[in-house]
Structure formats: C-alpha cells, structure tokens
Structure 1
Amino acid sequence: MQILDFHLDGEYVELNQLLKLVGVCDSGGAGKAIVASGDVSVDGKQELRKTAKIRTGQTVTIGDIRIRVQG
C-alpha cells in the first residue's frame, strides 16, 4: 500500500480536489468521476459525495493508496 501525507493549510479540502492535489488524478473533474465510481473511502466508509469536506486527521483510501490528512 502506498501512503501519501497531505498537509492541510485551511479548515478542510474538498475530496475531489484532494485527489487532484496529491496526484491521484489530473483534474478536479477526474476526481469527481473517481468518487462517483464508489472506489473512494473516508475513514473506512465509502464516500460518494464528490465535494465532501476532508479535515485534519481523516484518512482517504482509493485502491492501494492511502492519503493521511495532517494539519
């Protein structure tokens, strides 16, 4: 499993934008498609909201990639 650490500067980042910022996809639109496919989970639960607010301390998983959001 590949683990990526993402440093969050603000209060939250939208899920589709997080996927773009860590390099999982090329654009926010591609991020929305990935979320819509049902392949993304947040803290172990499937997440289908494309613009879900991801905050410090949460973990996003897509396939064999785990993204840890840190403050």
Structure 2
Amino acid sequence: MAERTEPADSTPAGPSGAPFIKLDQFLKLAGVVSTGGQAKQLILAGQVRVNGQVETRRGRKLRFGDEVVVLGQLWQVRRDQEGDPVN
C-alpha cells in the first residue's frame, strides 16, 4: 500500500457546482493522465485506490474529502478556498 506523503497533493473537484467528480475526470484534472483512455487503463488495471480500496469503476463519484492513490501518489478531493467547487 502506498505511503502517505506530507503534505498530500490536493486537487479541486466538481464541475459547475456539482458536489462530486467522476474518477476518470479527477485523474485528468489532477494531471495523473492526459486522456480518458489512459485513465480507463489505470483504473481497469487496479492501479487506483479510493479511500484505501481498489476502484475499477471509471464513473465512481468522488466527493470532497475522498482520498485517491495512484502510482504511489496521494490526492485528496477538495473545494477551493471560497468553498465552491473549482472547474
């Protein structure tokens, strides 16, 4: 299991006010991958963990505070400083 590094990378979530973001979209926003196809490959290969569990659903809805670990790096889903989701 991946070690948590301090501080964890944080990536904003939520397109247009939505309280969630899909896992594949999050991976692109975080810069882990550059295309949806790359996200799909990582997810289906079991290389992505959400809150400590392997996640194989590309459309998994991530909510604020969820932790995503990919290739040994940790990201946390967060809001922007004003409390609104960032596009």
Query: Fold match, TM over 0.5?
Result: yes
- 2:22–2:61 CA contact under 8 A, matched in 1: yes
Percent identity over paired residues:
30
Separation in 2 of the partners of 1:18 and 1:40? Answer: 12
Question: Are 2:13 and 2:26, in contact at CA under 8 Å, matched by a contact in 1?
Answer: no
Runs of 4+ in 1 over 6 A off after TM superposition: none
2:74 — aligned with what? 66
- Structure number with the higher strand fraction is 1
Which TM-score applies when normalising by structure 1? 0.89
Unaligned runs of 5+ in 1: none
Letter matched to residue 36 of structure 1: L
1:43 alignment partner in structure 2: 51
Matched with 1:12 is 20
- Gaps of at least 5 residues in structure 2 are 80-87
The structure with the largest alpha-carbon Rg is 2
Relative to the length of structure 2, the TM-score reads 0.74
